[in-house]
Structure 1
C-alpha cells in the first residue's frame, strides 16, 4: 500500500530546512541577499551525498568518462564563442507603479499569454519583444509596465588591479564551456576514443532578474555536467541511451517515478544547433519544473571554439581514418 501524496507548501519546507540545519538564507544577519543560500551542517552532507552518487554513476563506474575541474573565470573570448555575450539574455520589465521588476516571459506565461517577438529583416533572428495586451503587474495589479528590454544574465567582474574594458571577465554561467575548452587536452593525454565523455561538478552563476521558488531559481548554484562526444550519425542512439540512464539514476536516489516526467522539445522549441532535446521534470510544490536537460548539440560548441581560438578541435578516428 503506497503512502498518499501530501501537498506541502514551499514555506513549510523552507522553515523545516532552516530549523534542521539544511539551508540558511545567505548573509542572514544583514537581512539576506536574494538568490543566495548557505548550506548548513546537514545540508552540506546531503549535497555531498548527491554529488558522490552522481559522480559514481557518471564517472567512477564507467570506463568511457573522465572528470574535470575547470576554473570559474575563463577567458572572455570563451563567452563570445559560446554565444553567451550576445545571446544569454532574458527580457525584463518594470512596473511603473510599484517599481518592481519581472522576467517578461515568465510574467506572460503566468497570465496565460506569450511574449510577442519582433524579428530582424532575415525573419529568423529575434531583435526584441513586445508585451501582449492586458498583462498586469502581479504585485499591484497595474498595467503600466515598461516594454521588455534585454538583460544579460552573466556576472561581470575585472581581472587585475585596473577596472577597464581590457580587464573584463565573467563568472561562468554554466560548467559546459570549460569542458569544451579542455577537450583537446583531455583527448591528447588520455587513451580515450570516441565515444567518450567529460564530466564535472562545480559552481555556476546567473544574475537572475527575479530569483524565486526557494533554491530552485538562484543566482549561485552547483551544476553536475556531462558532455558526451560521439561519432556523427549516432546522435539518436546515444540521446535515447542517456535519457534512460538519467531517469534510472533519479529513481535510484529515491525520487518517486510518479513525480518524474519528460518534456520532449518540438522542432520549434529546439535551439538552432540541436537535433533533439529532452528535459527531465519533477513535480515540485510549485509545479512541474526541469531537473536537467539532455540535448543532442551536434558539433556546434567545438566548432565555435575552433573558429574563435584558431585551435583544432577535430578528432581523428583511427578505425575509419576520418576527421570530424
Structure 2
C-alpha cells in the first residue's frame, strides 16, 4: 500500500537567492568559511560533514561516467607543483592576467571586463560614481618557492589549471597503458588562482577543484570527436539537474576564441546571478603538445602503428569545476515548499538520489519503546555498510522528516509498531512524500536500486 503526505501542487521554482544557499551550507554543515575563527580568508572555503559526502559523490559519478564507462579513457592524478617552465610554455606567465581598476572614492576594485561598457567609457565607478584609477595588470598565478636556502630557492607556481599535468604525462600514459589514438586522459585536481574579486560562495574561489578530459585525436577526426564530447557533456549535466530549461550552450564569438581554436562552447546554467559558465568544451588543436615539445625539447608526436603517419595529436578538452557543480546542484535542488495548512514551509533539497550526501535515514517512531530503538539501530548498522545512513531518534517524526528533507536525503525508513508484528518498515520518499511498506530483508536491495548509479 502506498500513502502520500498532503503535498501541494508542484510549481515552477523561483530563482534562489545566494544568501539562502550560504545560510543552508553553514547551518547544515555543507560549507564553512576557511579560518573563520580568525576572520576568514576571502575566496577559500572548507567542506563540512555533508559537504564532503556530496563532493565525493559528485567526483565519483563524474569518474564513473568519464573513465569507467569508456574503454579509450584513462585517469591520472598529477602534482600541484610542477617545473616553472610548464607555465611559460602554457602561456600563463605572460598571459594569465586580469586588468583591474580601483574606485578612488569607495575603494572598490573591479575587473575591467566585468564593468558595464558605459562605466568603462566614462571611467566611473558603477557603485558610487567615483573616478576610477588607471588599469593595472595582475597575474593570477600563485607563486611558491622550492628549496630551503635563501638565495638558492627556485620560484615556481601552484598550478593555475589542472589540465597541464595531462599534457606533461601524455607520453608516459601513451607508452605505459598501450593506448592508441583516439584516446583520452582524465583528471580531477586542485587549482589555484590569485583572484582579486572572488565571490558568490563557491562560484569564484582562490583554491578550487577542476575536472578535465583531454581527448587526443587525429586532426581529420577533430570535428567528429568535438561534437561527440560536446553533446555527451551536455546530457551528463541535464541528467543531474531538475531545471533542465535553465541549461544551454553559449558559443564563443570570434573575439573570444584562442588563435588556434575553430570553435568553443560553454555549458551555462541560469541562476539568480544570470547565465554562468559551468563547463567549457574547447577545440585546442595541437597547441598544448606543440608548446611543451618546443619548451622541453622532447618529441611529443604520435606515430600511427598501422599507417606509420607521424603527427602531433589534436585535443578536444572538456573542463569544468567540482566546486561549481556542487554550488549549482544546491541552487538547482533548493526549494521552499509552502505548507497547505499554513505552517512553516518545508525546505527540501531535491538532489539526485545518487549524489545526495545521505542516502537513507533510519527513524524509530518513538524513543521510549526499546524494541523500536533496537530494531532501528540494527537496520541502520546493516545499511551503513552499503551506503551513507543516519540514525535519528530526536524529536517527533515529522520534525525528523523535515531535517532529512533539508539535507536532501532521498529516503527515510521508519520503524513503527507494525514492524514488530510483521517485519516491515515504512519507506518515505523525499520529493513526493509517498510512503510504502517494505520487508526488512528486502530493504537493502530496494534502496540500492534507487540510490546507486547504473
Normalised to the residue count of structure 2, the TM-score between the two structures is 0.65
Aligned residue for 1:141? 129
Q: 1:163–1:99: structure 2 CA closer, same or farther, 3 Å change rule?
A: farther
Provide Cα deviations, 1:128-159, integer angstroms capped at 9, x if missing partner: xxx832243244321x2111121100101111
**Count of equivalent residues:** 303
Provide Cα deviations, 1:251-308, integer angstroms capped at 9, x if missing partner: 2223532110111112232111112101000012211100010001000000000000
CA positional deviation for 1:91 = 0.5
Provide Cα deviations, 1:170-189, integer angstroms capped at 9, x if missing partner: 00010111000111111111
Match of 1:49 among 36, 52, 57: 57
Q: 1:322–1:257: structure 2 CA closer, same or farther, 3 Å change rule?
A: same
Note the residue ranges of structure 2 that are not aligned, 5 or more in a row.
1-8, 312-454
User: RMSD of aligned C-alpha atoms?
Assistant: 1.5
CA distance in 1, matches of 2:242, 2:224: 26
- Please tell me whether residue 159 in structure 1 is matched to residue 167 in structure 2: no
CA distance in 1, matches of 2:133, 2:201: 27
Contact 2:145 2:155 in 1 (8 A): yes
Match of 1:262 among 245, 249, 260: 249
CA positional deviation for 1:96 = 1.8
CA distance in 1, matches of 2:296, 2:121: 45
Q: 1:251–1:165: structure 2 CA closer, same or farther, 3 Å change rule?
A: farther
Aligned residue for 1:120? none
CA distance in 2, matches of 1:102, 1:17: 27
Provide Cα deviations, 1:104-125, integer angstroms capped at 9, x if missing partner: 1112xxx245xxxxxxxxxxxx
Match of 1:150 among 133, 137, 161: 137
Normalised to the residue count of structure 1, the TM-score between the two structures is 0.90
Pairs within 5 Å for 1:51-130:
51-107=59-115, 111-113=116-118
Q: More deviation in 63-72 or 262-271?
A: 262-271
CA distance in 2, matches of 1:11, 1:304: 44
Pairs within 5 Å for 1:1-324:
3-107=11-115, 111-113=116-118, 132-142=120-130, 144-164=131-151, 167-324=154-311
Q: 1:309–1:261: structure 2 CA closer, same or farther, 3 Å change rule?
A: same
Provide Cα deviations, 1:36-94, integer angstroms capped at 9, x if missing partner: 01110001111111000100000011110000000000000000000000000010111
CA positional deviation for 1:318 = 1.2
Q: More deviation in 303-312 or 227-236?
A: 227-236
Contact 2:15 2:271 in 1 (8 A): no
CA distance in 2, matches of 1:30, 1:162: 31
Aligned residue for 1:117? none
